Homo-oligomer: A and B are copies of this chain.
Amino acid sequence: MQAAAPARTRDLVRLLETDIHLGRLGAGSWLRQIDLEAAYNATRLDIRQALDRLVEKRLVRHIARRGYQVEDFDPARVAQVMETRAVLEVAAAALVIDRLDDAALATMQLHAEAFARALEAGTVEDQEAANIAFHTTMLAPCPNREMVDLLFDLRARVPAAVIRRRNTMDLLRRGADHHFAIIRLVRARDLPALQQVMREHNLSPGAP
């Protein structure tokens, strides 16, 4: 919720998305256009357009003549999104396992370590950044860009704040371990085992 230079629709979508994603805007919060106008230093029209786009993405609910509020995420839907993500990640794994070179694996190693460190001594924001960086690097050589875009889109559909809520430190550490296992299995070109870990990584209750 920072004020900044005048923001256009696309920026607004990203800013609001981030605020929802990290839980700065909790489920049920009312998003008053006037407040947002001031908070983000944007015009009414841009605000409205951004909100409509978030409604389309089902992160925000719109009630006629009442306003916009952050959608609440029932566990069933979260599970469905994660199952879908798992299916696609497993498919993507097959597409990248032979395309990840040593340089890419080294970068992944850095991000995996950064994630593990952020778990112990960083903010949720830091964790998210490191985690996204890890998966971005892993999916970079995937020839199917549509699939990759879709995966990140699915990631954005469920706020990290919602997932992390019922997440023990133990589960998070297991997620960190998955990262290292993934690197090892890619290096060994062991697709079945890799896919098994990818699936588990995406389906665990608090999947990073």
Contacts and interface: CB of A to CB of B under 8 A. Distances in A.
B87 A87 contact: yes
Contact of A84 (B49, B80, B81, B147): B147
A178 to B, nearest CB: 21
A144 interface: yes
Copies in the complex: 2
A80 B49 contact: no
A95 to B, nearest CB: 9
Interface string A134-146: 0000000001111
A69 to B, nearest CB: 19
Interface in A43-101: 49, 52-53, 56, 77, 80-81, 83-84, 87-88, 91
B147 A83 contact: yes
A110 interface: no
A150 interface: yes
Contact of A53 (B56, B80, B150, B154): B56
Contact of A144 (B9, B53, B56, B80): B80
A87 B94 CA distance: 12
A56 B88 CA distance: 21
